[in-house]
Structure 1
Amino acid sequence: MNTHYDSTILRPRLTIIIALASLLFACASPTVRQQFDFGGIAVESDTKLSTTKVNPKLNILLAEIQVPSSLEGTAMLYRLQYDNSQELRPYAQSRWSMPPAQLLKQRIKTQINQQGGTVLATSDGVKNLPILRLELEEFAQHFTSTNQSQVQLRWRASLINQNQLLAQRIFQAQAKCDSADAKGGAKAMPLATDMAITELIGWLQTQVK
């Protein structure tokens, strides 16, 4: 019996086997993509609210939050301060669950509502309420070294009533990340956001009569 095999016959068979094995491996190990949101906000009891919330309730219109093109999508962005602080880089396999402007809008509405206030959209057609316009300028994780980082955010707030600018101010906050990765940034960003929103609400309560 002739046991000699022609290599020209074996070669295409091996190619097919390798291709099938690669395909099966790719299907068995898909790319994992993480999505993060801001999580929930602790709800205070009615008794605590009635004894601690002495500031006037806010009733405002919130315009659509303006963002630069880099913040229009759901990418989680970071900067390497030790390499090139002017370059915004996206995480490859981690995303926000919605664009930063939507996360911020949702958080502002929730916090004002918890204090007994009301937030409506400018598209709701309600008149005679002051309009809050926000321009989100920074919303990223900053790495000072390969294993240390903090999130930083900054927005410009303008309060308008009857087409007149009442006040304008820049708000910014930062929070240290407990891990130098996307998960650490996702955990720290809501903390920094809440600090800036608390300051924003206090400012609004001094401006809205």
Structure 2
Amino acid sequence: MSTRDQRTPATGRRGSRRWVVCATSAACALLLAGCQVLPERPPLAATYDLGAGERGTLAHALAPARVAVSAPAWLQATSMHYRVLHGDPARRRAYADNRWAAQPAAMLALVLERRLGAGEGGGCRLQVQLDEFEQLFHAADRSEARLVARFALFPVRGNKPLASAALSVLEAAPTADARGGAAAFRVATDRLADGIAQWLTDTDRALPGGLAGEGRCRR
């Protein structure tokens, strides 16, 4: 066999190895390039709620049969709204990476039903209109939750309210961020529920015969 014939297989093997190395390098380069081109996965949004609420001290006989909460269009979403009073107070903003677990009206209804013992006693209907549910920033490191609601009590039969009132609750947030705002709203909703419970008690005392008299809230 000639010298040329003896070297050909070795040369072929070296060429094959070089081809494999080049192909592997090219694949790695393409993989790295792809990792750089593909967008990063956005962080998951933090989700907050108002808790389930605990039964308050309202007498069972004064507890409404049911609670209905409505809200304006801008609150019919899960966005967490805030307002920077020291910057642009007329502008309503929303956190980008934080949201409520449900619409504020739905969460508030759950808390009020539990706190007021809805369905346990009387037959009147409590209707609540949620007007504001936003975090107010007075400074970069100081904020508070603002909850504004109107409510009315309707008898078992008829659409004329027995009484109506409104409450505005402000609760300081422990931290000036979405987490602090959510904590403040938990306290604010409990305070609203306590305020409505006291209003129901006062209304019962003010009406002749109380809420159960004259077939008002008696089932």
* Bucket of the pairwise TM-score, normalised by the shorter protein: 0.7 to 0.9
SS, match of residue 77 in structure 2: coil
Aligned counterparts of 2:58 and 2:49: Cα–Cα separation in 1: 31
> Where does the alignment leave 5 or more consecutive residues of structure 1 unmatched?
1-12, 45-52, 121-127
1:169 and 2:165 aligned = yes
**Paired residue for 1:153?**
147
Q: Which has the higher strand share?
A: 1
Tell me the residue number matched to 1:182.
Answer: 178
CA distance in 2, matches of 1:14, 1:152: 55
The number of residue pairs the alignment matches comes to 176
Q: Provide the aligned C-alpha RMSD in A.
A: 2.7
* Deviation, structure 1 residue 57: 3.0
- 3-state SS of 2:152 partner: strand
- Kindly state the Cα deviation for residue 103 of structure 1 after the two structures are TM-superposed: 0.8
TM-score (norm 1): 0.74
For residue 203 of structure 1, what is the amino acid of its counterpart? W
Residue 196 of structure 1 and its aligned partner are, at CA, apart by 1.2
Please give the TM-score of this superposition, normalised by the length of structure 2: 0.71
Whose radius of gyration is greater, 1 or 2? 2
Does the Cα contact within 8 Å between 1:37 and 1:103 map onto a contact in 2? yes
SS in 2 for 1:84: coil
- What is the alpha-carbon distance in structure 2 between the residues aligned to residue 100 and residue 57 of structure 1? 28
Residues 141-171 of structure 1, C-alpha deviations (whole Å, 9 max, x = no match): 0000111100010100011222222111111
Equivalent in the alignment of 1:125 = none
1:66 maps onto 2:70 in alignment: yes
- Counterpart of 2:51 in structure 1 is 39
Paired with 1:54 and 1:180, the residues of 2 have a C-alpha distance of 33
Structure 1 counterpart of 2:119: 118
Q: Secondary structure at the match of 1:143?
A: strand
In 1, the alpha carbon distance for the partners of 2:45 and 2:98 equals 6
Residues 170 and 55 (structure 1), Cα distance of their counterparts in 2 relative to 1, 3 Å cut: same
Please list, as runs of the form range in 1=range in 2, the aligned pairs for 1:5-16 lying within 5 A after superposition.
none
Per the alignment, residue 18 of structure 1 pairs with 33
